[in-house]
Every structure is written in C-alpha cells, then in structure tokens.
C-alpha cells in the first residue's frame, strides 16, 4: 500500500480500483456509532469489495494536491508494518475507500491514497487508559491542581486557573511512552492537555475500548511541535520529544 503522508489530513483514504484486496476489510454500516451524524448511506450494485458495498456510511475526503473533494465509503481494516526495527499493527478506523481513479490526480506516480495523521486525541486501550488517568490525577492533585467535572470525550479535566506554565506548555505530570528497545517518547503538558474553554483544561486522551485492534493510537495533538523523520530507506520513524525544550523552537520555524 503506497500512501502519501499528510500531517494535516484527518483520515486515511485509498483508491480501491484494482489495487486493494483485503480479507479483513469491513464496511462501516450506516447505523454504526462510527458513522458520523448526518452522513449519507451508500450502496453498490456490483460484487462486494472495498469501495462497493451496501448499507455503508458515506464520507467526503479531500485530495489537497488536486484541490478536489470526493465521496467514498467508511470502513475498518488492519494495518501492519514490519521491519527489524519497527513493528506496528492496528485498526484503520474511519478508513475511506473510493472506486474512482481521478481522486489520485497530482499524487506521486506510485501513490494510491493519503494517510492523514491529524487525529486530535490519543486513544488508549481501557486497561491502559484507566490506571493512567488515575495516576495522572493523583500526581496532579499533589501539585494542588484542582480536578473538575470531565468534558466529553475526555476522562479527566482540571481547573485551568490552578495549572502553572512551563516552556513546554501547561505544567502537569509528564507521560512517557516506552517503545520496543527501551526508547521513550516523553509527552509534556503542551501535548497532553487540551483547553476546552477558558476555565477548563482536559487530558487529551480517550478510552479506546476494552479490545481495540491496537492498544495505543497517537493523536495529532500529541505530534504538535515534535519533530518526525520518516526514513524511507531503512523504514524507520525517528522522533523527538517537544521541540520547545530547545530554545523555544517550534515546527513553524523550520523551512524546507
């Protein structure tokens, strides 16, 4: 699957003409909770395949390189990447399948779709989410940060006026994601917290369910002002923690 990465894109979409065969693909039905309110319900007269199914949640997607909007179907599938230094498997939730070759206009020759990385929240499996929220709340309380009623979809929120400031944003407990090989990705307050209004800031993580296909999904908010390097030759993803630790650097300061 050859995809163009769009750090600002909201979803993964793929052109399903004759290049996509998957035994694990499942369309998102119109009555599913995954189908956004107000979405169209689509059907297809041909044989079942990604991009051709009945009672399927419709979606609109954008090809920013062609400045065009297309319609397609929402579905779920499994994504698996494997390398000696990187192994990732997970559910593509909200995958958009489209049987229309014109949507590939202006993509690189081998590109068959776009992988959007701008999901706002970080999602954890329930078994990880609940103890993490408990410990985070405990440590925040030790800093005299006052807890308030949660604001959906977040599980824990705080009184904004009781939170201090640091160079990396709001002064709250840091969170470390330990990856294979002992590598750690540190998430500071600027990437962990979401300001929902002038008085309330919430931990920007959501409960991904008891049995998700993948236990952790990194959100776009957690990627802000973190440097990502996609090493295509060695199939590695290199990353920094917050750039704000380095003389208040920001991604917006970089020039291509």
Give the model confidence (pLDDT) of 193-210 as tens digits.
Answer: 988 888 999 999 888 888
Q: pTM of this prediction?
A: 0.56
In 3D, which of 142, 246, 140, 119 has the Cα closest to residue 201? 140
Point out which residues pair with 145 in neighbouring strands.
none
CB-based burial label for 90 (10 Å; 0-12, 13-18, 19+) = middle
- Distance, in Å, from the CA atom of 154 to the CA atom of 204, rounded to the nearest integer, reads 6
3-state helix, strand, coil in the chain (%, to 5): 15, 40, 45
Regarding whether 39 and 141 lie in a shared domain, the answer is no
Give the model confidence (pLDDT) of 32-81 as tens digits.
Answer: 877 876 778 988 888 888 778 899 888 777 777 777 677 778 888 776 65
Which of 68, 97, 116 is a domain's end point?
Answer: 116
Query: 24-33, 147-156, 239-248: which has the highest mean pLDDT?
Result: 147-156
- Distance, in Å, from the CA atom of 143 to the CA atom of 166, rounded to the nearest integer, reads 14
**For position 93, which CATH number holds?**
2.40.70.10
- Distance, in Å, from the CA atom of 254 to the CA atom of 256, rounded to the nearest integer, reads 7
Domain count for the chain: 2
Does residue 100 carry a pLDDT above 60? Answer: no
In 3D, which of 232, 224, 231 has the Cα closest to residue 251? 224
Regarding whether 235 and 132 lie in a shared domain, the answer is yes
Which of 116, 147, 164 is a domain's end point?
Answer: 116
Regarding whether 110 and 128 lie in a shared domain, the answer is no
Which of 116, 136, 159 is a domain's end point?
Answer: 116
Determine the structural domain holding residue 222 and report its residue range: 122-253
Instruction: Provide the pLDDT for residue 255.
Output: 56
């Amino acid at each position: 699957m050859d995809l163009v990465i769009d750090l600002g894109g909201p979803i993964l979409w793929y052109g399903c003409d004759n290049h996509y065969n998957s035994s694990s693909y499942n369309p998102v039905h119109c009555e599913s909770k995954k189908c956004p309110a107000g979405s169209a319900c689509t059907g297809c007269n041909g044989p079942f395949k990604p991009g051709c199914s009945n009672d399927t949640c419709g979606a609109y997607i954008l090809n920013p390189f062609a400045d065009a909007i297309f319609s397609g179907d929402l579905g779920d599938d499994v994504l698996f990447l494997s390398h000696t230094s990187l192994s990732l498997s997970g559910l593509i939730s909200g995958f958009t399948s489209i049987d229309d070759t014109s949507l590939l206009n202006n993509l690189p020759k081998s590109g068959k779709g776009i992988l959007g990385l701008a999901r706002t929240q970080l999602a954890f499996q329930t078994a990880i989410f609940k103890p993490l929220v408990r410990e985070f709340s405990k440590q925040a309380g030790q800093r005299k940060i006052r807890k308030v009623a949660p604001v959906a979809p977040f599980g824990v929120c705080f009184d904004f006026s009781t939170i201090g400031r640091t160079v990396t944003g709001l002064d709250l407990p840091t969170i470390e994601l330990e990856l294979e090989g002992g590598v750690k990705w540190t998430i500071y307050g600027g990437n962990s917290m979401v300001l929902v209004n002038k008085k309330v800031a919430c931990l920007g993580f959501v409960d991904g369910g008891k049995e998700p296909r993948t236990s952790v999904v990194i959100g776009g908010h957690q990627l802000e002002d973190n440097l990502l390097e996609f090493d295509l030759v060695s199939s590695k993803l290199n990353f920094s923690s917050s750039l704000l630790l380095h003389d208040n650097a920001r991604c917006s300061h970089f020039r291509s």
